[in-house]
Structure 1
Amino acid sequence: MADSRKVAVAGLGSIGLRVAAALDQGIEGLELTAVSARDAGSAAARLATFRNIPELLPLAALPDAADIVVECLPPSAFAVLGGAMLKHDGKTFVVASVGQLLIIEGFLDQARAAGLRILAPSGAVAGIDGLRAAREIGLEAVTLKTRKPPGSFGEAVASDGGMLATETIDAPVRVFSGSARQSIAAFPRNINVAATVALAGLGADATSVEIWADPGIGTNIHELTIRSKGGTLRVASENLPDAGNPKSSAITAYSIIAALRRMDGFLSVGS
């Protein structure tokens, strides 16, 4: 373990706990050293079964305790950790709340100037490798259409300038149409995939997004259409909602875990 890089996980919700548990079980070249959580008592209970219990620290202290900080926070808490990361050059910042990279004005420029390395896993959307390749040959249009069960938006969702009770939705309703940047501002907890697609492709303002509340489905469906000088690529992802956080997809935590495993793997495919 002497040559292992230290990892801290910010947030012990459904996603963060899975990531922390995978690190505790063992990821080559990485060692879980610290975590942060809002409720210390609950965190202690969740960590009690770990083989090596990490130190519980405030958010702002995580960059001092690790080489790699994995963010698994509600969007509202991102700024505290992000601000702390900007004070530590040479660190790697693995981000689940990808939308905040676009919402917080100037953050990416500051991170570049600070010498941070930012890693945004693909999360719940497939086709990011193809999108990156299409950008090299020449992108022409990128469209993301997301459909989710109404309940994943909470008790109500904005629609036609008002709020619509999700329990009353009995047919598919388009609740948003616009740019990726606009979608992230309107649905910061539901559409991180739009930010991932935007950052890998045409950017936040040139990426088109539709969001639908669909009572006829039980999964989160992301349909990505990429048009470039190399042709057209269409990719559909159909993900089960996370049991602990239905606003996210169950696969999101495992996308982060897979990204961490690739960091020191001798073979990297599609990245």
Structure 2
Amino acid sequence: MTPTPSFAAYVGAHWAAVVIYVIATVVNVYGLLFRSEPAERWSYRLISVGWMIHSVVIAYWWWVTGHGPYLSRNEVLSSDAWIALTVFMCFQRLYPRVRPASIVVFPSVFLMIALGLFFDVQIRTLPPTFSGIWLVIHIAFYKIALGTILIALACSIFLVLKKRTPFAWLQRLPDLESLDLHAYRFAGFGFIIWAIAMLAGSIWAYKSWGRFWGWDPVENWSLITWILFGIHLHLRRFFRWSGERAALFYVVCFIFSLVALFYTSHMDTSIHMEYFR
């Protein structure tokens, strides 16, 4: 029996998560700028509350729709935000020195959710081609890659700011060498995850459309982005690029990744657009 959805509850709970995320972001920024460790701790408690509400909302909608959060624009942006935050929360426990990246990750999370809520909330029928483990791997790994490259972006931005500006709060951040190393490592991890997502997508495309690669705009931009990340890593590894030069080039790569992830699937010339109509 198909459950009766409560659109008001779904939207209201999402907005509740957004409000909590916003408050957590403000407290977090205050803690970082004014060196208040209690404020930082409270920001993580608040973000955890928002994450739990957000998790319940996604699980509820998954149960109502009968498919994962990857069909409508609202579902995609909400799940992107959830996975990006989950990835960051896991890494900040393993590597506490990346915690200042929250000043980039937290706003990105609530902005993605809020943007998604401006699209119509509706239940979409899952197309026959949207099935199989390769689709799940394809979508999940792109979302994980987004969370990873967000951390690398934060480290890159911090490196440039710390080198160019005299703000006192920047002195709380790790030294330039550590920021550079973390940016390099998270960019490399994102590069690998992105490659797995593309490979899984190719296998899914073969099972769904009978071809591994069709030069669709989504495929093209994803490949271009991956190549750019590869060039970035190649320049760092073999041509000893580091510091500000490498950080600025990474920002360019990240901009391309945003186009690949959020824009190309909505182009009229893309076959992926059919799933969002």
Q: Give TM-score scaled by structure 1 length.
A: 0.29
Q: Relative to total residues, which structure has the larger strand share, 1 or 2?
A: 1
> What's the TM-score once normalised by structure 2's chain length?
0.29
Higher relative contact order (CA 8 A, sep 6+): 1
Higher helix share: 2
